[in-house]
Amino acid sequence: MSILKNKIVESAERMFAEKGYESTSIQDIADDCSIAKGSLYKFFPSKEDLYIEIMEVHFTRIMEESERIRERTSLSPRELFVEEIRHQLDYFYNHGLFVANSLKEKPPISGDKLGPLLFRKRARLLNFNRGVLQRRYGEKLEPHIWDAVMMLNAMAKEYLHLMKTSAKPLSISALAAYFADRMDDLVAGLLARKAEPMLSADLMKEFESEQPESLREAIERCGAQVIEQATSTIRELSVPNARKRELEQIVGLLREEGEKEEPRRFLVTALLNELATEHELAPYAARMRRWAEQMLQA
């Protein structure tokens, strides 16, 4: 993401969280960034597009960190469960936009971009936690999986809302362990009673249609997004035009390698090392390195 575009996104997220989406105007965001409204429109055609960009950035970051957690083979199944819950709680708590809008999601409206986005956001989060619970409890929970997902989400939403709006001094780590214990109790009770689920697969099929991406799909989407962000940043670097062209060629080669069935590891490594020599591009190089490693393993 370019330097100015990143500034716009950060400003918009803060203002959406503080004032609410409806009460925040494009002019408010432009004023906060000290730029003309027309300059903002060069990056985002509408307020809806800006909001969508914010949500996509966050989901990419959540996925990246979750992948890192699951790669920690030293964790026991319970430790992994607690850590996945802790990661979500910590992320959502520290990004107020999620908590601020968690109780105010509006339904899809014909011709409205935000309605479908909010549905997809909710579906992706529900399916994300569905995967967390499946990894923890296995097939035995499957008939009750959607009930368990809803209960975990409800706990997280209400506790985070209390912490954010009423300043309740709760520890995220302690809360994650507490939630894990309560889910153990809940699942044990559901299985012991052999009760009929309230939420069957048929009732939740519209959410099931928003299945989590495969690892390969996630790698391709997130890798392409990072490359686009690096390309935008190159245009704003304070370096000679010749160096910009050189960096753009490097990014172009990385894109080409990423589209191949078998990227050349040595070339990708060399290109990323060169990209990382520019301070502003080092974070993108690090993220691309991670996605490249996963692409080679997928």
Looking at the fold, whether 201 and 81 belong to one and the same domain comes out as yes
- Six-digit token string for 57: 């950035």
> What domain range is 285 assigned to?
215-297
Query: Is residue 62 domain-resident?
Result: no
* Whether residue 224 sits in one domain with residue 180: no
Q: pLDDT-derived band of residue 217, with 50, 70 and 90 as boundaries?
A: low
The mean per-residue pLDDT over the stretch 46-65 comes to 80
Q: Is 196 exposed, middle or buried (0-12, 13-18, 19+ CB in 10 A)?
A: exposed
Residue 49 falls inside a structural domain: no
Residue 200 lies in a domain: yes
Please, are residues 178 and 185 in contact by the beta-carbon 8 Å criterion? no
Pair (261, 150) in one structural domain: no
Q: Is 255 exposed, middle or buried (0-12, 13-18, 19+ CB in 10 A)?
A: middle
Same domain, 103 and 178: yes
Q: 188 and 98, same structural domain? A: yes
pLDDT tens digits, one per residue of 234-249: 888 888 999 999 999 9
Q: Does 255 lie in the same domain as 145?
A: no
The verdict on 193 and 232 lying in the same domain is no
Domain edge (last residue) among 191, 208, 225: 208
Q: What is the dihedral of CA 36, 39, 43, 46, to 10 degrees?
A: 50
* Model pLDDT, residue 211: 54
Are 203 and 244 within one domain?
no
> How much is the average pLDDT of 32-43?
87
Q: Which of 186, 208, 230 corresponds to the end of one domain?
A: 208
- Domain contains 197: yes
pTM of the model: 0.64
- Segment 287-295 mean pLDDT: 69
Across the range 67-84, mean pLDDT stands at 88
Is 88 a domain residue? yes
